[in-house]
Amino acid sequence: MPTRRVLRIDNDEDKVVLKTRTRPVKFPNPGLKQLAKDMLETMHIANGVGLAAPQIGLSHRIAVVYIPPEVEEHEDGTTTETVPEQIYVLINPEVVKASDEEEVGLEGCLSLPGWYGDVPRAAWVTVDYQGLDGKRYRIRKADGLLGRALQHEIDHLDGILFTERIRDLSTLKDYSKEKEAETESAEH
């Protein structure tokens, strides 16, 4: 499975593509399964939680989301998976309901690696979408990481970048420099 280049917010040509609203995906669509596999692999290699088609230069209304499993660590050092991983391939997703309550959380984006800022999002959302089979599905009242990831990826499909959602731009910081410093001090 080939990985794709992730477009960057800080590249003017890439930003034009990232700021463009996507077109709905029509069914049947024989290339869709391979595209979803490529997107999931690209997202995993980049250590992401989500990836939308515009981020790899495509104007299709498709996004993938990966929520890692929740693991409980025991005193003896063993672990138990308490909640399995969740993988979503969302075709033509739409937020159909959102809570009035808002939560602000630290958020990043594969199109601006290392940078994170405080982004306000609805506390929960209900999303309708189509699966790879073309059938309609609904995720009800998604909150936490899933709710935030769904809103972030659907924003990408609408041409909205997470940096545009940040109310206080002073919270947008490059955390990769801190990680490099931690790694260097750990190595010495």
Flag whether 141 is in a domain. yes
- State how far the Cα of 137 lies from the Cα of 88, in Å rounded to an integer: 11
Percent of the chain exceeding pLDDT 90 equals 89
**Residue 148 pLDDT > 90:** yes
Question: Is residue 85, in this structure, part of any structural domain at all?
Answer: yes
Q: Kindly state whether residue 47 falls inside one of the protein's structural domains.
A: yes
For residue 134, pLDDT beyond 70 = yes
**Structural domain boundaries enclosing 54:** 12-187
Note the pTM of the prediction, 2 decimals: 0.90
Answer yes or no: is pLDDT of 183 > 60: no
Residue 3 within a domain: no
> Any catalytic annotation for residue 41?
no
One-letter amino acid at 120 equals P
Amino acid at 63: A
Q: How many domains does the chain have?
A: 1
Task: Tell me if 5 is assigned to some domain.
Answer: no
Is 4 inside a domain boundary? no
pLDDT digits (tens, 9 = 90+) for 68-116: 999 999 999 899 999 999 999 999 999 999 999 999 999 999 999 999 9
1 falls within a domain: no
- Considering 73, 81, 153, 164, which one is annotated as catalytic? 153
Is residue 7 in a domain? no
Check residue 176 and give its pLDDT. 86
Whose structure tokens read 């979503």? 88
pLDDT category of residue 182 using cuts at 50, 70 and 90: low
The CATH number of whichever domain residue 74 belongs to comes to 3.90.45.10
pLDDT tens digit string along 4-36?
999 999 999 999 999 999 999 999 999 999 999
